[in-house]
Structure 1
C-alpha cells in the first residue's frame, strides 16, 4: 500500500480526495494540515495526519515514508504567491529530496496563459509558475486543470483535452476522482490537461491521454 501525502487535505476538494483514498485498497492517505484543530477531523476517522505549513518548513510532512504527493491546497485568493506558488514549489522540492514516485498537481483552467485572463490574473499566474516549476523538476508529474468547481454529485464522466479552448464547470467530486486516478504510476505521466463536465468515463479519458501521448 502506498502512502499518499495530500496537501490541502482540509479543504473542500481535499476532504473528498482523502475520503476516496481512504476507501482504496491501494493507497493510504496522509492528510497534511497546518492547524492542530484540523488533525482531530481526520484522526476521528482513523486517517493519518501530519502537521506542516506551506508558508513554513514542509519537510516534517515527509517524516513518514511518502510514496506520492497530491497537491490540492489553495489560499482562496488571499495568499496566492505564498501558498499557491511558493508553497507548491517548496513541496515539489521536498518531494524531490525524498525520492517520491509521482506528484499530482491540482491547477486551474486558465493557468496555461494567465496573461489572457480578465479576472483572477494573479492567482492564475501563481498556478502557472507552480506548474512550470513542477514540470522542470524531473519528477514524474500530472497537472490537472479543472474549470469552475461546483458541489454537484459525482458523474465519473469528464471532457478532457490538452487545451479545451473554452470555459466550463466540473464538480469537485469528479475533480477528486480524476486526481486520485492520476496517482497510478504510468497514467498521464508528465502530462498537463484541462477538464470540465463531459460524457467520457474518467478512466477512459485518462487512458486515451496516456495512449495518445505515449
Structure 2
C-alpha cells in the first residue's frame, strides 16, 4: 500500500513526505537525480531515481497509488511546461492505468479549466493542467484532483475552504495546508473520482474534503 510521490523534491512534495512519514503512511519519493537523495535519507524516506522526461516505469514497482505534485517551476519556459506538467503527467497516468493502480492523486490548480482567463505568463501552465486533468478524468484509474488557489508560504492551520465564497473571496492557500490535505486524501482510500478546490479557510481538512 505504498504511495509513489512524483514531485517529492518540490516545496509541497517535501512537506507531504515529512507529514506522511510522521503518520506512518508508506511512501516512495521519486527524485530526478542522486543529488536530491540526502534530504530524504536523513529522514529515512525511501527514494527512487526516475525522470518524467525519461525512464519512469520502474518507479511504480510495488506502489498502489500515485500522488503527482510535480511542476516545471516558475523559472522555466513553455517547453518544460509541456514536457513535465502535461506530457509527464499524462505518462504517469497512463502507467498507473497500465499497472492497475488503485488511485491517482493529482495536484492541479484552481480555474485550470479556464487557461485564457489566467495572466498571460501562466496560460501555458494552466492549459497544461487543464489537459492533464482531462486525461486523468477520462482514464481508467480512479482519481482525486486537488485544485489549490494561489500558493503561499504561510504556516499550516489545517483549516481550509473549498470555494471562494466559503473563503470570503480570498483565493490563496498555504503550501503547508496543501500538504496536510494531500496526506488526508492519501489515507482516505474510499474517496474516489472527486475534485476539490482548496483555499485557506475555517473548516478542518477532514470535514472539508469528505
Secondary structure at 1:42's aligned position in 2? helix
1:147 — aligned with what? 149
Say whether the 8 Å CA contact 2:66–2:103 is kept in structure 1.
yes
2:7 — aligned with what? 8
Assess, with a 3 A threshold, how the Cα gap between structure 1 residues 37 and 70 changes in structure 2: closer, same or farther.
same
Assess, with a 3 A threshold, how the Cα gap between structure 1 residues 179 and 143 changes in structure 2: closer, same or farther.
same
Unaligned runs of 5+ in 2: none
Say whether the 8 Å CA contact 1:3–1:29 is kept in structure 2.
yes
Alpha-carbon RMSD across the aligned residues, in angstroms, is: 1.8
Aligned equivalent of 1:128, options 127, 130, 137: 130
The one-character-per-residue Cα deviations of 1:122-166 (angstroms, maximum 9, x if unpaired) are 100001111111111121101001011111111111111499896
Say whether the 8 Å CA contact 1:51–1:60 is kept in structure 2.
no
Instruction: Give the alignment's TM-score, normalised by structure 1.
Output: 0.89
How does 1:91-106 map onto structure 2 within 5 Å? 91-106=92-107
Say whether the 8 Å CA contact 1:164–1:194 is kept in structure 2.
no
Is 2:82 the counterpart of 1:81? yes
**1:31 & 1:118 partners in 2: Cα distance?**
32
Secondary structure at 2:112's aligned position in 1? coil
**2:115 & 2:19 partners in 1: Cα distance?**
31
Say whether the 8 Å CA contact 1:163–1:193 is kept in structure 2.
no
**2:64 & 2:50 partners in 1: Cα distance?**
17
Unaligned runs of 5+ in 1: 208-214
> Which consecutive aligned stretches of 4+ in structure 1 deviate over 3 angstroms post-superposition?
161-167
**1:38 & 1:18 partners in 2: Cα distance?**
14
Say whether the 8 Å CA contact 1:84–1:126 is kept in structure 2.
yes
